[in-house]
């Protein structure tokens, strides 16, 4: 939300959206303030109005992606979950062509495009930055496994789950969720076994992006 919009500025627009008596369909939709001002008072004013986060101009794509990913992850955690449908069967690798998905749970480009308002350029920018971001998170998760740090395993698996879900990579997200739950229960041996599955799904996801020309095909599996 651009804070310096004409007629109705971003702060007033946010107050209208958050108003309990408004007819807005989703009053809890995440709102990120974008403004040229960087003063603490300006930031607090945005948060007080009901905005979720704050980004100063000039906008850095990496920072914008990080904030959007984080806020959508929080929002997705508040959605009702059917536990019988959360975990997908990802034991059998599936391929997808550039024309259509044979398994849209690997990656559904149409779903991601819809989430970013059919902004093709923004969609491509997200996907080009995504492999490095996910690879870093997976490496952190592997380090946590080596340290037997259940809390960090759970937190990093949660981050991967949210990031993958946000970009419509649901099979990858599902495996990360399995790891998160295993760590929460203290089942670290199970979490370690799932790590290979996570890396496999990550490689499948990357190969799909490479097939449709959105990233280079690289692998993290040893």
Angle at 110 between CA 106 and CA 114, to 5 degrees: 125
Domains of the chain, first to last = 1-59 (3.40.50.2300), 90-211 (1.20.120.160)
Interval 107-150: pLDDT, tens: 988 888 887 788 888 888 888 888 888 999 999 999 999 999 99
pTM over 0.85: no
β-pair partners for 8: none
At 84 the pLDDT is: 39
Task: Give Cα 141 to chain centroid, integer Å.
Answer: 16
Q: Which range, of 20-24, 61-65, 193-197, averages the lowest pLDDT?
A: 61-65
Q: Which range, of 33-47, 85-99, 201-215, averages the lowest pLDDT?
A: 85-99
């Amino acid at each position: 939300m651009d804070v310096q919009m004409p007629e109705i500025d971003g702060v007033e627009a946010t107050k209208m959206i958050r108003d309990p008596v408004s007819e807005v369909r989703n009053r809890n939709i995440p709102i990120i303030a974008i403004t040229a001002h960087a003063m603490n008072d300006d930031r607090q004013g945005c948060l007080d109005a009901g905005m979720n986060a704050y980004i100063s101009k000039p906008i850095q794509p990496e920072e914008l992606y990080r904030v959007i990913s984080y806020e959508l992850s929080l929002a997705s955690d508040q959605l009702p979950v059917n536990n019988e449908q959360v975990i997908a069967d990802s034991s059998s690798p599936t391929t997808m062509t550039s024309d259509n998905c044979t398994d849209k749970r690997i990656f559904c480009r149409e779903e991601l495009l819809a989430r970013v308002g059919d902004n093709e350029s923004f969609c491509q920018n997200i996907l080009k930055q995504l492999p490095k971001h996910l690879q870093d998170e997976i490496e952190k998760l592997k380090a946590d496994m080596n340290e037997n740090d259940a809390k960090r395993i759970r937190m990093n698996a949660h981050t991967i789950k949210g990031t993958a879900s946000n970009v419509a990579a649901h099979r990858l997200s599902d495996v990360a969720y399995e790891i998160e739950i295993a760590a929460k229960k203290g089942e670290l041996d199970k979490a370690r076994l799932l790590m290979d599955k996570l890396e496999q799904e990550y490689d499948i996801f990357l190969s799909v992006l490479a097939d449709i020309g959105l990233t280079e095909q690289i692998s993290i599996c040893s």
